[in-house]
Chain A
Amino acid sequence: MDGLVIEHLNKTLGNRLVVDDLSLRVAPGDLVCLLGPSGCGKTTTLRMIGGFLQSDSGTITINGVDVTTLPPERRPTAMVFQNYALWPHMTVFKNIAYGLRLRKLGRAVVEERVAAMLALVNLTEKRDRHPAELSGGEQQRVALARALVLEPDLLLLDEPLSNLDAKLRVGVREEIREIQQRLQIATVFVTHDQDEALTISDRIAVMSGGRIEQYDDADGLYRLPQTAFVAGFIGAMSTVAGRVVDAGLLLGTSPVPVACAALGEMPGIERGVEWSVGIRPEDVRVDTGGSPTATVLKEVPHGHFKELLLRLDGDDATVIRAYVGTEHPPTGRVALSLARALLYRDGHLVHEVAPLRPAVTALAAP
């Protein structure tokens, strides 16, 4: 198969299994994010793909060629390093031209291709500057140009935006995405920032403890986080212990209605067992009428909406979050109902309860 194929990759560093049986496929032209908290093995994985680190076992194939044991200079990959790693003693031009010159291309060809790259990243004027004379954003673009000028089969980026200030970050990530799509280059992008991952990726591999927890597109990750870890990592999610009853879900001491009227009668759903219920704040309906089941603890304004922190009756330990409009937000005692809920057991998603047909979707437990 074309693109990047990683199979059963393992790496132990300092007596710790840092990458644990990791398999991943990146289709040609796709941008895939490795997303996970600091220390979960993202950089280690990327460095093994780039050839800077030898895997203990497993294979890495790029466009059908097994590169597992090749040194970096013989892999069709190009990396943008976290601190850019521009050579401070070379000008912008020389930084970008370095790889081309190694390939014994003629002067004119080198000039032309570097010029084209400089135009692509909007740095034509900075051609003869040294890296120290450039801003962070400009250095970042030089690093990108240096990687892209070699027309690699696979582009690797290690937290390329982490050294930019917040405002610049959004602009540059859109730029990277646009260039990536224009060149249709397969890309692995490492980040710990879910916003970054959700906005620019075709698919996202959420990592934790050296393993891939879930490999999905942004939509799938948000709608159906397959593990409790992903549920907690992507977006806001309240997690509360609950049981299935006739009226819906028994959370705390009160039954909370869920989407469909008679949840307990749905086939395939176990009653009497305790589920870990995952609830997105936008799926919580808060009413002041009816019999109250919760208390509003706090109201947090977010501009165009408000977030309520709620305490369920009979469950003092858990806080449930709900998003409501800014006009007349409910206060005091309220009644809750859910538009949607996810049922987890042993850290894995088992059921999605949603107003679809059928209302309860049984999901194969992994």
Chain B
Amino acid sequence: MSAVRAAVETATAPAAGARSAPAPARRRRPLTPGRVAVGVGMAVLAVFIFGPLLWLMLWAFAGVWHYPALVPQSWSLSWWREIFHYPQLVRSVGLSFTFAPIVTLVSAVVCLPAAYALARFPVPGRRTLLVVLFASNAFPKIGLYITIAGLFYALHLMGTFFGVVLIQLLGTVVFMTWIPAASFASIPRALEDAARDVGAGRLRVFFTVTLPLAAPGIFVAMVLAFLASFDEAQGTFLVGVPNYVTMPVQMYSLVSDYPPQAAAVFAVLLSIPSVALMLLVRKHVLGGALARGFELR
């Protein structure tokens, strides 16, 4: 997630990069106990983060793997083929890739105007609103979901497509408001004034000046929203089952009902969008034309 955090920081503080002085060339320094400790710490952290991932990858390509062998006794790609023979699993892949983009778009349409308003106008109680948004995501959501489930029953939203979209939206609102709001706020008003000055109406100014300039922040927010929706299991489980079983929900039953290889393959599949989107963020937000365009004086 550090790539995302870095992306968020660049995206929301466009002018910062241009001003920072180039770092002095790094020189080799002698090994001190402190530096050794940092090195060891980093290694432990790496094992902690990448160990399970590695284990997962091994399982995904394992044929036979019995305890206590350190690596599988035989390798196989068969589970990658096998997994697509379970119609239920195939359907969940399809569902996940349907919900995530829809939820991302709906979230953008709903939250971006709000983010702009929060950034530009003296909305009463804007601090409170932002804090509440933040708090709603800072605590375990299951309590909130249970309450909402009650409401959804009453509104006949349980087990519906729309219900799942709604419950997934909940986890995206925070990114879609906070990050773009910071991006919008960092755009000098004079840039908008200048566009109106030469004849553009408010709406045109928004689409030709404000939106393109806030794009890196919005892009990052959409990536985070996509991933939040893609990975969302609790709420989707509660609202969607049995009609809408997405990949992360399927993971629950995979672990108990299928061989470990199936779960591993599925888990790897589940992380593909994360990796792909992270690479995209790196390419377009951190290094691309957008970042260059932001080098305001």
Report A's interface with B, CB cutoff 8 A.
50-52, 71-73, 77-79, 81-89, 98-99, 102-103, 130-132, 136, 139, 146-147, 150
Contacts and interface: CB of A to CB of B under 8 A. Distances in A.
Interface in B156-199: 188, 190-191, 193-199
B213 A78 contact: no
Interface of B: 18, 188, 190-191, 193-201, 204, 208-209, 212-213, 290, 292-297
Contacts of A85: 188, 190-191, 193-194
B196 A98 contact: no
Contacts, number: 81
Contacts of B200: 73, 98-99, 102
A83 B188 contact: yes
A52 B195 CA distance: 11
Given A73-B201, A86-B194, 10 more contacts: A50-B197, A72-B197, A77-B197, A78-B198, A81-B194, A87-B194, A98-B195, A102-B199, A132-B293, A136-B297
A73 B196 contact: yes
B209 A130 contact: no
Contacts of B191: 85, 87-88
B198 A98 contact: yes
Contacts of B213: 87-89
B296 A81 contact: no
Contacts of B295: 88, 132
Given A78-B197, A132-B297, A87 B204 contact: no
A50 B196 CA distance: 10
B198 A99 contact: yes
A52 B197 CA distance: 8
Contact of A102 (B204, B292, B296): B204
A231 B213 CA distance: 47
A202 B193 CA distance: 28
B120 to A, nearest CB: 14
B193 A87 contact: no
A81 B190 contact: yes
Nearest to A71: B196
B198 A88 contact: no
* Residue picked from A51, A77, A81, A136, most chain B C-beta under 10 Å: A81
B197 A73 contact: yes
Contacts of B199: 73, 99, 102-103, 150
A40 B282 CA distance: 47
Residue among A73, A82, A130, A136 with the most chain B CB within 10 A? A73
B151 to A, nearest CB: 43
Contacts of A103: 199
Contacts of A52: 193, 196-197
Nearest to A84: B297
Nearest to A149: B198
15 contacts: A51-B196, A72-B193, A81-B190, A84-B297, A86-B194, A87-B209, A89-B213, A98-B195, A98-B208, A99-B199, A102-B200, A132-B293, A132-B296, A139-B297, A150-B198
Contacts of A136: 297
Nearest to A134: B297
Nearest to A95: B194
B297 A146 contact: no
A136 B208 CA distance: 24
A115 B199 CA distance: 20
A98 B198 CA distance: 8
Contacts of B212: 89
Contacts of B198: 73, 78, 98-99, 102, 146-147, 150
Task: Identify which of B190, B198, B199, B209 gathers the most chain A CB atoms within 10 Å of its CB.
Answer: B198
Nearest to B190: A85
Nearest to B196: A72
A108 B18 CA distance: 36
Contacts of A98: 195, 198, 200, 208
B293 A89 contact: yes
B20 to A, nearest CB: 14
B254 to A, nearest CB: 45
A88 to B, nearest CB: 5
Nearest to B192: A85
A146 B199 CA distance: 12
Nearest to A72: B196
B190 A83 contact: yes
Contacts of B204: 102
B133 to A, nearest CB: 29
B206 to A, nearest CB: 13
* Top 7 A-B residue pairs of the complex, sorted by shortest distance between their CB atoms: A99-B198, A85-B190, A132-B295, A85-B194, A89-B293, A72-B196, A102-B199
A47 to B, nearest CB: 8
Contacts of A79: 193-194, 197
A88 B193 contact: no
A69 B195 CA distance: 18
Contacts of A84: 297
A309 to B, nearest CB: 42
Nearest to B294: A88
Nearest to B205: A73
Nearest to B14: A88
A78 B196 CA distance: 10
B291 to A, nearest CB: 11
A256 B168 CA distance: 89
